[in-house]
């Protein structure tokens, strides 16, 4: 049996992937290269960076350094996607590498040491590091999506002004044990 930590972190990674997916569904294809300013990243650049990071970190996760010699990090910020489908392909490929690496993890693996740029981390620390990194960038993707879509944006969380209704519905139910991602149908 897997620990609640492994189930929880898997669900949280799935949740952040879902937020990106739902953002991609809303943005016009011709806006994936848009950035707010010259020195900021577009959604396409962030996706390309995440793809490179995910392939590097999760390929041979337990046995080789997470910063692979073949990674070209600086080139990740030079997004060259012709369409949303090619961007989505890299997005899905990166997440597939992550889930392929973490799905077989067991509790006994959590204290193993893995390296990222020669710095040792327990597997738990490495998982938390990457979860925070991906949440940071997915937050950027969602924010850019809100800027691109403007008034047409459909909120991915509790819409402004709906907190009382949302909370009333939640508190109308009996207390129960669950994960916040359960309402999205995410399973570990």
pTM score, whole prediction: 0.94
Domain limits at 36? 4-184
User: Packing angle between helix 4-26 and helix 43-58, nearest 10 degrees?
Assistant: 150
Torsion sign, CA atoms 122, 123, 128, 132: positive
> How many percent of the chain have pLDDT more than 70?
99
Quick one: pLDDT at residue 179? 87
Give the residue-averaged pLDDT of 2-30: 95
Say whether pLDDT at 4 is over 70. Answer: yes
Total tally of structural domains belonging to the chain? 1
Quick one: pLDDT at residue 30? 94
Say whether pLDDT at 1 is over 60. Answer: no
CATH number at residue 167: 1.20.120.450
Quick one: pLDDT at residue 184? 85
> Would you place residue 187 in the very low, low, confident or very high pLDDT band (cuts 50, 70, 90)?
confident
Give, as one character, the DSSP assignment of residue 150. G
Contact 47, 97 (CB under 8 A): no
> Would you place residue 81 in the very low, low, confident or very high pLDDT band (cuts 50, 70, 90)?
confident
3-state secondary structure of 120: strand
Q: What is the pLDDT of residues 103-130, one digit of tens each?
A: 999 999 999 999 999 999 999 999 999 9
3-state secondary structure of 184: helix
Averaged pLDDT score across all residues of the chain: 94
As a whole number of angstroms, the distance between CA 152 and CA 156 comes to 13
């Amino acid at each position: 049996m897997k620990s609640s930590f492994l189930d929880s972190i898997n669900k949280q990674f799935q949740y952040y992937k879902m937020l990106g997916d739902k953002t991609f569904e809303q943005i016009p294809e011709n806006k994936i290269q848009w950035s707010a300013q010259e020195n900021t990243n577009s959604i396409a650049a962030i996706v390309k960076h995440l793809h490179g990071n995910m392939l590097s970190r999760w390929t041979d996760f337990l046995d080789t350094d997470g910063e692979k010699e073949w990674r070209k990090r600086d080139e990740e910020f030079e997004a060259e996607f012709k369409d949303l489908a090619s961007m989505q392909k890299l997005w899905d490929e990166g997440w597939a590498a992550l889930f392929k690496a973490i799905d077989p993890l067991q509790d006994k693996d959590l204290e193993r040491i893995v390296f990222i740029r020669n710095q040792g981390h327990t597997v738990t620390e490495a998982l938390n590091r990457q979860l925070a990194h991906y949440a940071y960038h997915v937050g950027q993707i969602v924010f850019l999506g809100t800027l691109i879509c403007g008034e047409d944006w459909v909120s991915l969380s509790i819409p402004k002004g709906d907190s009382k209704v949302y909370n009333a519905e939640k508190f109308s139910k009996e207390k129960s044990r669950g994960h916040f991602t359960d309402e999205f149908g995410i399973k570990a």
